């Protein structure tokens, strides 16, 4: 047994390790939420229907569809536009990590009488306090009200052609919608089936139920976290006492 009460798994095969990790995380989630048992499993179709009942997905999808239509109407572009989707997909784990650490886990600060604490950070702390509350899983709609059109302005100013700006916007909105879907699905009652999704599911639950200082990526596992030193062996990490109260007094 390790110092935090978890089993040493060095001599176990990977399948057994994953099973033990899933069992521990499920027990911890039940303890935290006060539920002796998880709710009934959710089908992927049911998850998809629930996903669209929240404000964020339709808002992002509206801008995505509009950007696709606009890009089609602008006609053919240049080969260099492919750099936008390829570059964003390659960089997304790092972008996701930086946003999660620097913005979502922002520690509230005071500058004289002014308290610096964004809506995103406040909502994310509430999300850690209750990871099962689905409305807190999504990007807050008041943020999207200005963020989604802001991307249009940035693309128009930063890209030399309208066609290129359109390609950039399609790429950005598609990644945003993909992030929202993945994050929602991990927090829903849909059970992992594919090996890829099981890895995401386990990675994010470790962040919420084991230690909030590690495992920051959502749409990938072992990418930016491994690169930036936040992907430790879970059996060697102590369970954080503030995993549900991020930036609590004294933390």
* b/e per residue 50-60 (b: at least 16 CB within 10 A): bbeebebbebb
Identify the DSSP state of 132: T
Query: Taking the domains of the chain in order of start, what are their residue ranges?
Result: 43-187+217-231
Per-residue pLDDT tens for 2-46? 444 444 434 445 555 555 555 656 665 555 444 434 455 789 999
| 33 membership: H or E segment, kind and range | helix 14-33
| Pairwise CA distance, residues 82 & 188, whole Å | 34
| Pairwise CA distance, residues 180 & 237, whole Å | 28
Which residue, among 6, 25, 14, has the nearest Cα to 243 in the 3D structure? 25
Find out whether 87 and 72 touch, Cβ atoms under 8 Å: no
Which ranges of the chain have pLDDT less than 50? Answer: 1-12, 32-38, 249-251
Per-residue pLDDT tens for 118-127? 999 999 999 9
| Pairwise CA distance, residues 135 & 123, whole Å | 10
Which residue, among 196, 202, 182, 186, has the nearest Cα to 56 in the 3D structure? 182
| Pairwise CA distance, residues 56 & 139, whole Å | 6
Instruction: State the pLDDT at residue 19.
Output: 58
């Amino acid at each position: 047994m390790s110092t935090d009460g978890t089993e040493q798994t060095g001599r176990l095969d990977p399948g057994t390790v994953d099973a033990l990790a899933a069992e521990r995380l499920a027990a911890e989630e039940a303890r935290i939420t006060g539920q002796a048992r998880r709710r009934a499993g959710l089908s992927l179709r049911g998850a998809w229907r629930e996903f669209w009942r929240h404000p964020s997905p339709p808002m992002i999808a509206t801008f995505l569809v509009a950007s696709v239509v606009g890009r089609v109407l602008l006609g053919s572009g240049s080969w260099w536009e492919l750099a936008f989707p390829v570059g964003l997909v390659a960089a997304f784990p790092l972008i996701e990590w930086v946003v999660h650490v620097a913005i979502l886990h922002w520690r509230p600060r005071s500058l004289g009488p002014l308290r610096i604490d964004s809506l995103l950070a406040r909502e994310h702390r509430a999300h850690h306090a209750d990871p099962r509350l689905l409305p807190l899983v999504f990007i807050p709609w008041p943020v999207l009200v200005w963020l989604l059109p802001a991307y249009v302005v940035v693309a128009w100013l930063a890209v030399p052609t309208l066609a290129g700006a359109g390609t950039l916007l399609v790429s950005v909105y598609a990644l945003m919608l993909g992030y929202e879907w993945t994050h929602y699905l991990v927090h829903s009652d849909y059970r992992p089936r594919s090996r890829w999704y099981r890895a995401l599911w386990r990675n994010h639950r470790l962040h919420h139920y084991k230690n909030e200082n590690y495992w920051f990526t959502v749409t990938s596992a072992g990418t930016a976290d491994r690169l930036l030193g936040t992907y430790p062996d879970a059996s060697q990490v102590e369970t954080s006492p503030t995993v549900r109260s991020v930036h609590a007094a004294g933390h």
